[in-house]
């Protein structure tokens, strides 16, 4: 039986046990969540670019950026049939809120509620990108106000409540001591402690790293790679990718008017364009013959940043992109958005059943701990049994132990192990480190080789205890892959 089915079954047993208690509604919600999209929170320090990146992932400018009351409220963006915004006040029943939309940006009217009176907003929005994932925007952690930070903290590292997020995309502008502390608290859960299993790091506002120079993304990539090998970071997030969020958001919402304005910049000789873009100030105030008004220039800067204007201008001038559609595609690729999407796909979405089961079982374990009832002991034992024995959880535990440095070995052995257990994506080809289009005999041979290799390691008396335990898990992973390949044949 699959992990999610086992989880469903134990929840089905638990619901009647807690019927009539204050926990009943929560358990029903936990049960329903198993069939709903994965919940991914976007978190990070104040002004790290969270809302902007969320918009890029959705493909629409839904989340408010910059100022405004709503940036201080945890906001869910989920798919649905109608456009709707609902507030869950701390006191009283949920209520529908009015909203307007201008230039694609939505503006929510809190209807007299203060941000600190609202525990969360739920925006229901029909969008393809929200079919498989519900995105949660969170107030910045840090200096805005203690209360807003506390809300994000409560969402991601709850003590006695269900964890509303199954996974987190954590934005770092530069690594800050507060980030490490925050991620630690988030990962301080029972299944895997500390655990990088459900967190991805994003080096955000990547365009600003090279102060808007054309090679900014290359610099950001180097820094992200370095962060990704830092032991402190590795034990907290699975990998770190650089993303220029503003450019990503603009790329997926690009308008013909904007492209028209960019063509003016592209039409300049290279030297002049470079001079014009030496600083934001120059771009706004010099070269009246450019044919763009002050407002138009300001709008371009707000949407693209200096880096984006420079990059888009260059792409148009060199005819790497000639239409709005081509430009949008190029900018999305170069902003790092596609890479982030792929990583979210392979590390979160392909594994969503495991991550959802994990959240559900942790919530259930917590309920049985705080409230004993006739029958609750059996439920607790069943939960414990799944958490301790289900193969996907064993893989997650090995992954966290590897990342924490508790399992060590030669670098190529560690890399092999990390891939086999799904640390870089859970498809068979990701696990076997094969090109995405590999199929047939080449793939089954690779799986059999991996099985033989890890069986030898598991049985070798010279292998350390920790590595032996890990090797047994890898053997199970290989057997699972072979069985799956057998089924598709
Ligand atoms: N240059 C540049 N600016 C960005 C980027 N991402 C966001 N910004 C700008 O930074 C400001 C804050 O962006 P938000 O997306 O609101 O950041 P946030 O993390 O949601 O902020 P809070 O919710 O208030 O903590 C806005 O002015 C954005 O336009 C980026 O990748 N590059
Ligand atoms: Mg925000």
Determine the distance separating the centroid of ligand 2 and the alpha carbon of 194, expressed in angstroms. 27
Would 75 be classed as within a structural domain? yes
Would 271 be classed as within a structural domain? yes
CATH number at residue 223: 3.40.50.300
Identify whether residues 107 and 208 lie together within a single domain.
Answer: yes
The answer to whether 4 and 353 are in contact (CB under 8 A) is yes
Would 365 be classed as within a structural domain? no
Residue 444: what pLDDT?
94
For residue 32, the surrounding DSSP H or E stretch is helix 24-33
Beta bridge partners of 200: 169
Give the model's confidence band at 166: pLDDT under 50 very low, under 70 low, under 90 confident, else very high: confident
Residue 65 burial (CB count, 10 A): 21
Determine the distance separating the centroid of ligand 1 and the alpha carbon of 42, expressed in angstroms. 13
Identify whether residues 44 and 179 lie together within a single domain.
Answer: yes
User: For the whole model, what pTM was predicted?
Assistant: 0.87
For residue 78, the surrounding DSSP H or E stretch is strand 75-78
Q: Which domain holds residue 301?
A: 254-320
Would 154 be classed as within a structural domain? yes
Residue 396: what pLDDT?
86
Residue 144: what pLDDT?
42
For residue 400, the surrounding DSSP H or E stretch is helix 391-404
Residue 441: what pLDDT?
92
**Tokens in use for 444?**
């089954």
Q: Could you tell me if the CB of 50 is within 6 A of ligand 1?
A: yes
State the closest ligand 1 atom to the C-alpha of 67, by its place in the atom list counted from 1.
24
Determine the distance separating the centroid of ligand 2 and the alpha carbon of 232, expressed in angstroms. 26
Q: At what angle do helices 465-488 and 391-404 cross, to 10 degrees?
A: 140
Identify whether residues 384 and 455 lie together within a single domain.
Answer: yes
CA atoms of 171 and 157, how far apart (whole Å): 16
CA atoms of 359 and 325, how far apart (whole Å): 40
Q: Could you tell me if the CB of 208 is within 6 A of ligand 1?
A: yes
Determine the distance separating the centroid of ligand 1 and the alpha carbon of 202, expressed in angstroms. 13
Tell me the average pLDDT across 261-269: 96
Identify whether residues 281 and 427 lie together within a single domain.
Answer: no
Q: Could you tell me if the CB of 66 is within 6 A of ligand 1?
A: yes
State the closest ligand 1 atom to the C-alpha of 306, by its place in the atom list counted from 1.
1
Q: Could you tell me if the CB of 335 is within 6 A of ligand 1?
A: no
Comparing C-alpha atoms, which of 451, 448, 444, 446 is closest to residue 433? 446
Coil, strand or helix at 38: strand
* pLDDT at 118 > cutoff 80: yes
The answer to whether 79 and 123 are in contact (CB under 8 A) is no
* pLDDT at 209 > cutoff 80: yes
Determine the distance separating the centroid of ligand 2 and the alpha carbon of 78, expressed in angstroms. 17
Give the model's confidence band at 161: pLDDT under 50 very low, under 70 low, under 90 confident, else very high: very low
Burial (0-12, 13-18, 19+ Cβ within 10 Å), 141: buried
Give me the percent of the chain exceeding a pLDDT of 90. Answer: 63
* pLDDT at 380 > cutoff 90: yes
Identify whether residues 455 and 479 lie together within a single domain.
Answer: yes
Would 109 be classed as within a structural domain? yes
* pLDDT at 289 > cutoff 60: yes
DSSP 299: H
CA atoms of 317 and 353, how far apart (whole Å): 46
**How many domains does the structure of the chain reveal?**
3
Determine the distance separating the centroid of ligand 1 and the alpha carbon of 253, expressed in angstroms. 16
pLDDT digits (tens, 9 = 90+) for 432-479: 999 999 999 999 999 999 999 999 999 999 999 989 999 999 999 999
Q: Could you tell me if the CB of 140 is within 6 A of ligand 1?
A: yes
Residue 165: what pLDDT?
85
76: left (phi over 0), alpha (psi -120 to 50) or beta: beta
Would 359 be classed as within a structural domain? no
What residue owns the CA closest to ligand 1's atom 30?
Answer: 205
Compute CA 412 distance to the chain's CA centroid, rounded to the nearest angstrom.
Answer: 27
Would 332 be classed as within a structural domain? no
Identify whether residues 198 and 147 lie together within a single domain.
Answer: yes
Which carries the bigger pLDDT value, residue 71 or residue 197?
A: 71
Residues written for the chain: 489
Give the model's confidence band at 401: pLDDT under 50 very low, under 70 low, under 90 confident, else very high: confident
Q: Could you tell me if the CB of 71 is within 6 A of ligand 1?
A: yes
Identify whether residues 299 and 205 lie together within a single domain.
Answer: no
Residues 6+ apart with CB under 8 A from 181: none
Determine the distance separating the centroid of ligand 1 and the alpha carbon of 105, expressed in angstroms. 15
Residue 143: what pLDDT?
45
Residue 199 burial (CB count, 10 A): 23
Give the model's confidence band at 178: pLDDT under 50 very low, under 70 low, under 90 confident, else very high: low
* pLDDT at 163 > cutoff 60: no
Minimum mean pLDDT among 275-279, 322-326, 374-378, 423-427: which range? 423-427
pLDDT digits (tens, 9 = 90+) for 15-61: 999 999 999 988 998 999 999 999 999 988 888 999 999 999 999 99
Q: Per DSSP, which regions of 12-53 are E strands? A: 38-44
Give the model's confidence band at 277: pLDDT under 50 very low, under 70 low, under 90 confident, else very high: very high
Identify whether residues 74 and 196 lie together within a single domain.
Answer: yes
Q: CA separation (Å) from 474 to 69, 399, 480, 483?
A: 49, 11, 10, 14
Identify whether residues 209 and 155 lie together within a single domain.
Answer: yes
In a mutational test of the pocket of ligand 1, which residue from 52, 61, 251 has the highest number of ligand atoms less than 8 Å from its CB? 52
Give the model's confidence band at 194: pLDDT under 50 very low, under 70 low, under 90 confident, else very high: very low
Phi then psi for residue 63, to 5 deg, are: -80, 135
Residue 191: what pLDDT?
32
For residue 101, the surrounding DSSP H or E stretch is strand 98-102
CA atoms of 235 and 232, how far apart (whole Å): 6
């Amino acid at each position: 039986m699959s992990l999610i089915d086992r989880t469903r079954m134990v929840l089905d047993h638990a619901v009647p046990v807690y019927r009539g208690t204050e926990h009943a509604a929560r358990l029903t919600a936990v049960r329903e969540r198993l069939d709903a999209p994965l919940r991914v929170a976007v978190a990070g320090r104040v002004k790290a670019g969270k809302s902007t990146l969320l918009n890029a992932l959705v493909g629409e400018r839904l989340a408010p950026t910059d100022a405004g009351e709503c940036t201080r409220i945890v906001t869910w963006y989920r798919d649905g049939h109608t456009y709707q915004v609902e507030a869950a006040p701390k006191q009283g029943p949920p209520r529908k809120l009015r909203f307007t939309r201008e230039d694609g940006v939505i503006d929510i009217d809190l209807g007299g509620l203060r941000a600190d009176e609202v525990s969360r907003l739920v925006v229901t929005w029909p969008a393809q990108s929200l079919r498989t994932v519900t995105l949660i925007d969170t107030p910045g952690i840090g200096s805005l106000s203690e209360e807003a930070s506390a809300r994000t903290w409560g969402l991601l590292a709850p003590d006695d409540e269900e964890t509303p997020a199954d996974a987190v995309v954590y934005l770092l502008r530069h690594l800050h001591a507060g980030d490490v502390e925050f991620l630690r608290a988030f990962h301080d859960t029972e299944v895997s402690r500390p655990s990088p299993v459900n967190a991805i790091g994003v080096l955000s506002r990547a365009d600003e790293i090279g102060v808007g120079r054309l090679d900014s993304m290359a610099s950001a990539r180097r820094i992200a790679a370095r962060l990704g090998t830092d032991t402190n970071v590795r034990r907290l997030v699975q990998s770190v990718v650089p993303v220029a969020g503003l450019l990503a958001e603009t790329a997926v919402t690009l308008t013909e008017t904007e492209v028209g304005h960019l063509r003016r910049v592209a039409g300049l000789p290279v030297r002049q364009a470079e001079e014009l873009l030496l600083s934001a100030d120059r771009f706004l105030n010099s070269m009246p013959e450019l044919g763009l008004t002050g407002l138009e220039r300001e709008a371009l800067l707000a949407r693209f940043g200096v880096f984006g204007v420079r990059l888009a201008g260059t792409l148009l001038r060199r005819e790497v992109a000639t239409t709005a559609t081509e430009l949008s595609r190029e900018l999305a690729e170069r902003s790092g958005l596609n890479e982030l999407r792929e990583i979210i796909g392979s590390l979160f979405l392909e594994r969503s059943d495991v991550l959802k089961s994990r959240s559900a079982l942790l919530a259930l374990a917590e309920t049985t701990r705080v409230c004993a009832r006739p029958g609750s002991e059996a439920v607790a034992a069943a939960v414990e049994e799944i958490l301790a024995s289900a193969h996907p959880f064993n893989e997650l535990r090995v992954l966290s132990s590897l990342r924490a440095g508790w399992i060590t070995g030669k670098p190529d052995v560690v890399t092999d192990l990390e891939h086999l257990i799904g640390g870089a994506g859970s498809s068979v080809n990701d696990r076997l480190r094969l090109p995405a289009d590999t199929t047939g005999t080449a793939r089954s041979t690779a799986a059999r080789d991996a099985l033989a290799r890890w069986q030898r390691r598991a049985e070798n008396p010279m292998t350390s205890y920790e590595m032996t335990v890990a090797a047994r898990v890898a053997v199970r992973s290989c057997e699972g892959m072979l069985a799956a390949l057998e089924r598709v044949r």
